[in-house]
Amino acid sequence: MERKPFILVSPSIEKRGVEFHDLSASLSVKYDFAVLHAGGIPVTVPATTDRAVLAECVRRVEGVLLTGGDDINSDLYDHKLPGKIKKTIEQTPDGGARDLRELILIEETFRQRKPLLAICRGHQLLNIAFGGQLVADIRQQVPGALNHQRLDQACELVHEAALTPGSLLAKITGRVKLRMNSSHHQAVQVTAEPFVTTAISADGIVEAMELKPELARGMPFLLSVQFHPERLTPRYAAHRAIFDAFVTACVRQFKIK
């Protein structure tokens, strides 16, 4: 049997779980299904901020997947948010441990040069990790914005984004325009220095970013998206292709190890 790559997947943290009502790790099975269908084996990141442990986790896998979830602590990107905007932010219930854990994962993924796919919250945190800022509340800060909080249609295509011709996302999907789902109220404000926007919605929201071409050679794969392709893979080939390309890049890690 051909060896399958292990993919390290970051879970959300909930205030209480079903079994013991403790602080709990939570992960939509749609992430697992998307990775499995593409030929990978998902493994969950442990609830620790121990840098040595997280570095070892990254070392033992072939790729890293950052997932969606609660908002990111605004102190990581803007200390001067107005109160009316700050009160819309719903941070993780673990005192910022998830933020720190995933920032360490990002650093280690780059240091060890492993494939990285960042989704929604992961997309935003990746930008913050390199000094970027966020739109903390789209409705209040982006005049004329689309409704990006379509949780009622989380598995449906609700709006379109224009893709940069020749970008990784355009090559993967075979599209210059891509329809997508949308379930977020925050967004990347301006892409941080190592990245370039490669998908943008009609209202100017950054829907995808990649490394600048001159920097892309340093990473085997990097794609960061604001939408949720894992929720669309069963029905839409273009979104399924995102996971296929990611896992294919992870397979190539066998030759590097």
CATH number, domain of 30, equals 3.40.50.880
DSSP code at position 91: B
In a domain, 51, yes or no: yes
Ranges of H-type helices in the chain:
29-37, 51-60, 83-86, 97-111, 121-129, 138-141, 168-173, 213-216, 237-251, 253-256
pLDDT in tens, 20-50: 899 899 999 999 999 999 999 999 999 999 9
Crossing angle (nearest 10°) for helices 97-111 and 121-129 = 70
pLDDT at 197: 98
CA distance 66 to 44: 11
In a domain, 184, yes or no: yes
Query: Domain total for the chain?
Result: 1
**Banded pLDDT at 18 (limits 50, 70, 90):** confident
pLDDT in tens, 170-198: 999 999 999 999 999 999 999 999 999 99
pLDDT at 83 over 90: no
pLDDT in tens, 121-172: 999 999 999 999 999 998 989 988 888 999 899 999 999 999 999 999 999 9
What is the rounded average pLDDT for all residues in the chain? 94
In a domain, 82, yes or no: yes
pLDDT at 201 over 90: yes
pTM listed for this prediction: 0.96
Crossing angle (nearest 10°) for helices 51-60 and 97-111 = 50
CA distance 79 to 61: 35
In a domain, 33, yes or no: yes
What is the amino acid identity at position 4?
K
In a domain, 77, yes or no: yes
pLDDT at 257 over 60: no
CA distance 45 to 60: 12
pLDDT in tens, 95-117: 999 999 999 999 999 999 999 99
* Residue 190 structure tokens: 């301006």
pLDDT at 68 over 80: yes
pLDDT at 132: 96
In a domain, 34, yes or no: yes
pLDDT at 255: 66
pLDDT at 57: 98
Are the beta carbons of 128 and 76 closer than 8 angstroms? yes
In a domain, 1, yes or no: no
- Domain carrying residue 158: 6-256
